[in-house]
Chain A
Amino acid sequence: MNESGSGASGRGALAELKEAVSSLFEQVVGLAPDLGLGREFPRHELRVEDDGFRVLVESPGIGREDVDVSVSGRTLTISSRRERFEPPAGARMLRSERPSGKYELTLQLPADVDPLAIVARMQEGVLEVRLPKPSARGRSVRVEDAEAGAAQPAVEQRPATGATPAAEEEPPAEEGPAQQMPWEEGPETPTAEGEGGGTQNG
């Protein structure tokens, strides 16, 4: 709020009013994340690809442990939590725009996906979830001969509904509830530290 205490002239009163409105707006917008009300979700995108879907969610500063991805039927739910930024003691905030709090996004997928083949990865602050469609391909099954003590050649097996993932194509799927989210181990994104980064002119 305006602390100058002037406001005697018409122009001063208008400025005071503007400040009051903007201050109130900032307070209202600022309250939601603190109360964990689940504010508007970060930017995200659903991409339809030939063999499935890809969901991208902007998640700067959010680690794997703060993200939960689950699929139930064709409903995909992504929730995440971002900590509020705390400046060092005694620092003066000049801008405070970055959001924090809990987010939850629910998407209806246009088609079935294979819950066991879903993988997620976090790269440069972008969460990427790949949801392959159920594969119609057969799955090779190794048959072991107990007496001979060695594995027999694989037997081609075509499942009736085609819901089983092709073992040679997909990364090893984790058994268990669909909520388990296998994380892809991508190459380590090197931390970019530099002195005098970028061009400096003038």
Chain B
Amino acid sequence: MDRMPSDELRDTPGPGPPASEDREARARRRHYARPAVDIYSTESEMVVLADMPGVRKADLEITVERDELAIEGKIAGRREAESALPWGYHRRFKLRTAFDRERINASLREGILRVTLPKAATEQPRKIAVD
């Protein structure tokens, strides 16, 4: 298998602990997991599929800020139960492709998050007519 191309997207490693990290953020860093993802790209869109079992729609946050896509979901009850399973999932990606932000959509089913990012018209191949 070839190494995965990184021209369209790059993983952002988790941020190191800031000097004034509060208990909440520290717990999250230690108990959250990065979801496994499959990501594919076509001419017209990029699709991110992330395994986030246990996350409910109401607790899911998807953010596209500047050139970064962030997905985060807290799992209800895990912290209270002091579970050894992840208390939530989070992961970030640096996007190197321009997307049509208004049309980004997401769905969550059977613990799998699907984020569809339609590419901006400028990114799509344009057929040039030859006179």
Contacts and interface: CB of A to CB of B under 8 A. Distances in A.
Contacts of A94: 4-6, 8-9, 39-41, 46
A183 B55 CA distance: 21
Nearest to A56: B85
Contacts of B46: 94
B107 to A, nearest CB: 5
A56 B3 CA distance: 34
Interface string B61-100: 1111110000000000000010111100000000000000
A56 B84 CA distance: 11
Contacts of A88: 40, 42
B26 interface: no
A61 B109 CA distance: 8
Contacts of A126: 53-54, 111
A197 B106 contact: yes
Contacts of A58: 51, 53-54, 85, 111
A199 interface: yes
Contact of B53 (A1, A27, A59, A198): A59
Interface in B16-61: 36-42, 46, 49, 51-57, 60-61
Contacts of A59: 53, 111
A190 B109 CA distance: 8
B85 A197 contact: no
20 contacts: A23-B1, A23-B2, A56-B85, A60-B112, A61-B51, A61-B111, A87-B40, A93-B4, A94-B8, A94-B41, A95-B38, A95-B39, A97-B37, A99-B36, A124-B55, A124-B110, A192-B60, A192-B106, A196-B105, A197-B104
A-B complex: 10 closest residue pairs judged by Cβ atoms: A125-B111, A198-B62, A125-B53, A60-B111, A192-B57, A197-B106, A95-B39, A91-B40, A97-B36, A202-B66
Interface of A: 1, 19, 22-23, 26-27, 30, 43-45, 47, 56, 58-63, 85, 87-88, 90-99, 122, 124-126, 189-202
